[in-house]
């Protein structure tokens, strides 16, 4: 079974976001082994992103997808197609959501794929909910489920 680890920098404080993530994580359980790893966001300062990258790097798998404003925007159908390709060639995928300041260039360079949800700026907690929902939608599309319209 495919293992997906959602690695994110910074904790989500709002319970309603955590509840939504938990619901989609439960639904995803029938398609993949999904887990979450949270790295503490470092305070503002010199080399913040570089220091965060040093915490992130050891936690990445062989195949890493990052969420980045400069990444490729996909439709849900395109994400489903990508997920199918990734699943066929990988047993372990890390999807990374950086801190509110983004990701260090080192991480961007080693990522296998860079994806954007929108040209809009989204709060990281909402982006995480959207990620879980879109993963569930992609798996439902790939299994010919009725969830996607």
pLDDT digits (tens, 9 = 90+) for 23-41: 999 999 999 999 999 999 9
pLDDT band at 121 (very low <50, low <70, confident <90, very high): confident
Q: Which residue has the tokens 């040093």?
A: 54
Assess whether pLDDT exceeds 90 at residue 5. yes
Cα–Cα distance between 31 and 116 in angstroms, integer? Answer: 23
Q: What is the pTM assigned to this prediction? A: 0.94
Assess whether pLDDT exceeds 80 at residue 71. yes
pLDDT of 149 reads 64
pLDDT of 119 reads 86
pLDDT of 147 reads 80
pLDDT of 21 reads 98
Mean pLDDT value across the chain:
95
For the residues 58-80, what does the mean pLDDT come to?
96
pLDDT of 146 reads 86
Cα–Cα distance between 78 and 92 in angstroms, integer? Answer: 20
**Which residues make beta-bridge pairs with 35?**
5
The per-residue b/e assignment along 98-130, b for 16 or more CB within 10 angstroms, e otherwise, is bbeebbbeebbeebebbbbbeeeeeebbebbbb
């Amino acid at each position: 079974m495919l293992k997906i680890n959602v690695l994110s920098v910074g904790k989500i404080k709002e319970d309603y976001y955590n509840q939504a993530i938990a619901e989609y994580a439960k639904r995803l359980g029938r398609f993949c082994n999904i887990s979450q790893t949270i790295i503490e966001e470092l305070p503002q300062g010199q080399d913040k992103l570089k220091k965060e990258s040093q915490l992130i790097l050891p936690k990445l798998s062989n195949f890493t997808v990052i969420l980045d404003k400069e990444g490729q925007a996909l439709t849900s159908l395109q994400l489903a197609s990508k997920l199918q390709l990734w699943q066929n060639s990988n047993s372990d995928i890390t999807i990374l959501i950086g801190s509110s300041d983004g990701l260090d260039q080192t991480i961007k360079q080693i990522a296998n794929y860079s994806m954007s949800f929108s040209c809009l700026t989204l709060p990281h907690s909402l982006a995480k909910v959207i990620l879980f929902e879109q993963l569930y939608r992609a798996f439902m599309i790939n299994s010919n489920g009725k969830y996607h319209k």
